Structures are given as C-alpha cells and as structure tokens.
Amino acid sequence: MRSFRDTFKEFLGDCIIEIQVGMGPAGELRYPSYPESNGTWRFPGIGEFQCYDKYMLSSLRAAANGIGKPEWGHGGPCDSGCYNNWPEDTDFFRRDGGWNSPYGEFFLQWYSDLLLAHGERILASAEGVFRESGVKISGKVAGIHWHYGSRSHPAELTAGYYNTRFRDGYLPIANMFGRHGVVLNFTCIEMKDYEQVPEARCSPENLIKQVILAARKAGVPVAGENALPRFDEGAYRQILFNSRLTFHDDPHEASFEPMCAFTFLRMSQNLFQGDNWQQFVSFVQQMAAGKVINEWEVADKASVLAHETNPIVQEAASALT
C-alpha cells in the first residue's frame, strides 16, 4: 500500500479518488470457502470451513482452553459436510443442527472473530497509509445469497459471516468498516429472488436489505456492483431500485444517500451489441438523475446519446477484439 501511495501520490485525491482494499478471495472480506477456479466448489454448495492450518488450529485450541472446553479445540465441526453438500445433508447445518448448539455457537463466534480481526488489521493499515491523501477507502463484502432462506445460512457461515435466522452477522462487519471510515461495497445488486434456483432458497433481495440496514445503523456509506454480466432492462431496474432502497420507519434514512457509488461489471463486446448499448446509456442517465424519469423521455435521450457516442463505442469494441 505504501508503494502504491508513493508511486501515484500526484494523482491521489484528484484523478484517483477511491481505493478499494482487497481483504480476501476476489478482494472480498471472507474465507476461501467456495473455490470456483478448479471446479472444487459448484453453486449452490454450502462450502467448507477453512480452519486447518497450524495457526488457525493453535488459535482454536487457545480459545477452547480459555473457556475450559479443550475437547472443542481439535478442529472444525466433523459433521459439516463437504463443498457441494446441501444443508440437510449434514448434521451441523440441518434445521436444528449443531450450528445452534453451545459448541456450534463457540466455534462460529471464534471463526468469525478471526475474520473480523483480519479485516481490522488491513483497514487500520490502509487508514494509516492513505490518511490525508484525499482518497476514500472501500472494502468488499461478498453477496452470499444461496441458502439465505435456511435457518443456518451455511454458505455464509463457512465464509466467516456469522449470520443465521437468529443473529445479524453483518452489523459487526459494518461496525468494523465504520471504525475506519471505509465504504462498504456489496455485490449481487442486480439480482431478484425469483431468478434463482428455488431449491437453494436464495434471497439476494433480503440479503441486500439486511446489509444496507446494518450499514446505516453503523453509519457506513454503501456502494454496489453487479455480480453477473447482465445487459437486460430487468437487471438495470433492479440496480436502480436497490440504489435507492429505503425502509419504513428507518431513523437513519434521512442522513444517508441510498448508495454512494455503483460499479458496473463487466465491459465486454456484448455491451456494445444490438440494443445493449442504448439500454446501458438509459441506465446511466437514470442513475445520474437519482430518480426514474419517464420511459418515453429515457428512450428519446438514450437514442440521441447512443448515436453521439457511437464512435467511442466502436473504438472500445475494437479494443476488446
């Protein structure tokens, strides 16, 4: 971080106005509980706990000994299944499983506390390095929406988010971001519940609401990004909706803009094909306006802007070939 600051110091605060600090896989604050790259994990698997190196095991033993339960310090739950299991395949994650037992509560608290401590160290370092540089610091939290409708929320638990039907696992994360003045960047902003696999009990919409509400309670600004490359009107409308999400009787609503920034992923040749570019222009207009304007006005302005930006589009498309 110091090398980056020193190399680009003349651009900080002017050209470079935000720095996103990586804290884990894909830059997100989480354990690598669902590795996709080599086919080890497939959606919507519950993932696996990552607590078996010598440092984690030493920490677990110390925590277990500290509460007089040394038998709890030998490793993670032995009945939590494998990467691609479903919750009900396991004794630990099933409806009334071990996750809700005294041992489960001890282990999950320890596991999530270590992730929070890791994030605390990184954000404290970033805060020190970039203090008075004029840039905002942001960090990513993963949008683990599969099995959100279950009691145990297993995919979140294996990633280090101690979030269940009975416990808010995102408020401690938001509070940690707040202590360092960091923007919380969240993903899956374009997703709707009905688009997901029913059997996996996905709920990106409720997950987003929970995270945004936790951030508001902690006084933390929220930024967003889409998880999948989408160029359809439905995805754009959902992004617009979530970027202005409000809650009934929310005492924090008046003091927060709904979403301070949005990153659109990912630029590709598809963005510049057919009607995709015109729809994207319309989407950007509405995001910039801060409100949904009349559809006929959107279409008219988008058509004009799409024509005006055509040379830029062609240049960008050529660069991607």
How many other CB atoms are found less than 10 A from the CB of residue 315? 10
Helix H segments across 264-309?
276-289, 295-308
Q: Is 195 a catalytic site residue? A: no
- The tokens describing 66, both together, are 């500290």
Residue given tokens 């945004």 in the structure block? 212
Non-local (6+) Cβ contacts of 44 within 8 A are: 146, 147, 155, 197, 199, 200, 202
**Left, alpha or beta for 39 (phi > 0: left; psi -120 to 50: alpha)?**
left
Strand bridging mode 183-186 / 261-263? unpaired
Q: Are 170 and 217 in contact (CB under 8 A)?
A: no
- Of 10, 225, 233, 315, which is the active-site residue? 225
Residue 206: which H helix or E strand, with range?
Answer: helix 204-218
Strand order in the sheet with 222-225: 18-20, 136-141, 183-186, 222-225, 261-263
Helix H segments across 70-203?
102-130, 154-159, 171-179
Q: Is 225 a catalytic site residue? A: yes
Rounded Cα distance between 60 and 66, Å, is 10
- Of 28, 48, 190, 205, which is the active-site residue? 28
Q: By C-alpha distance, which of 33, 36, 66, 69 is closest to 51? A: 33
Instruction: Just list the catalytic residues.
Output: 28, 225
